Structure 1
């Protein structure tokens, strides 16, 4: 863990948090502010990554939660992650329009929207948030497998998750150019790499 890492507190997000979550995620994924961090989607998408209305729709689905993370003393919002219990989400899509894979033999969850404030990245916060998310789904939903998706172009982020114990499944999902809720592609033929981890 980076020496500059400071412990974070966290809780489940509620409706009144959606505006600040949207700001945090958009700052980290797109636009000028995202370049303060080590990885972003700015060269692949324009427009927003998320907004409060989309968050409201996501959270209206059974088994959907967002965990939000704060500095212990200042209560400044540092990061977030969305989680979806796959057993509650047959035939729905979450995150960047990636269909969840239903497997009755394994209880699984989908991890998405992992975000750390751009100017506070490289301090171990992302690793901490992923660890908390894994523990949460294991304890709350008895989850055995986590699935997530990363743009295939973002090799540095795929490598990050592989270092966290995730495996490239070899599955790929084309980004739907007909659904611009999560951004407008700047390049053609964007696809997502699907990774999984047994926990």
Structure 2
């Protein structure tokens, strides 16, 4: 895939519908990499509503950041939130299926980290990943995130029709920013 020039901005309420569609399609995308998607049946039933996206956009302690291509089309989105004094929480990262496997996710994550550092003076980042998505967890580790040893429960009640592994959960991960890791983002 040819490289893509991304333009970033904070999402507005007018973007909620497009973000909802992007997040659903990104989570449902079939990926040939083993353990990237995790449970295919779970991925195919994932749903998020515009009503769930909207509060994420308007919350003053959150920002949903969007990446656009040169023609203004939505390519990716990511949610960041301020947690405590110096921690930023990364969630809801989604990349248009057409742009997956081309480095867009890495660019979006780096931009989100830089945004948190510049906006909230964040020194540590946290996120979680579904335990069945082993290749995704490894990808986060290559981006500097480490498993904390903590887990959080998976909302089984939202997926009662899906046969889920007994041990499914979210793996908590963190990344400390230090001068030894260098500035890892783009300026915002």
TM-score range, shorter chain: 0.7 to 0.9
- 1:98-137 CA-partner distances (Å, limit 9, x unpaired): xxxxxxxx61011001111112111110110011001000
Q: Which residue of 2 aligns with 1:49?
A: 47
Q: Which residue of 1 aligns with 2:152?
A: 173
**CA 1:49–1:147: 2 relative to 1, 3 Å:** farther
Q: Aligned Cα RMSD in Å? A: 1.9
Question: 4+ residue stretches of structure 1 with deviation over 2 A?
Answer: 36-49, 57-62, 183-186
Note if contact 1:27-1:117 (Cα within 8 Å) is conserved in structure 2: yes
**CA 1:67–1:37: 2 relative to 1, 3 Å:** farther
After superposition, residues 93-112 of structure 1 pair within 5 angstroms as 107-112=86-91
**CA 1:60–1:71: 2 relative to 1, 3 Å:** closer
TM-score by length of 2: 0.83
Gap runs ≥5 in structure 1: 88-105
1:56, CA displacement in angstroms?
Answer: 1.5
Q: Which residue of 2 aligns with 1:187?
A: 164
**CA 1:76–1:141: 2 relative to 1, 3 Å:** same
Note if contact 1:166-1:197 (Cα within 8 Å) is conserved in structure 2: yes
After superposition, residues 1-199 of structure 1 pair within 5 angstroms as 4-30=2-28, 34-35=29-30, 39-40=36-37, 42-72=40-70, 74-87=71-84, 107-178=86-157, 180=158, 185-189=162-166, 190-199=168-177
Alpha-carbon separation, structure 1, partners of 2:148 and 2:47: 25
TM-score by length of 1: 0.79
Q: How many residues are paired up?
A: 172
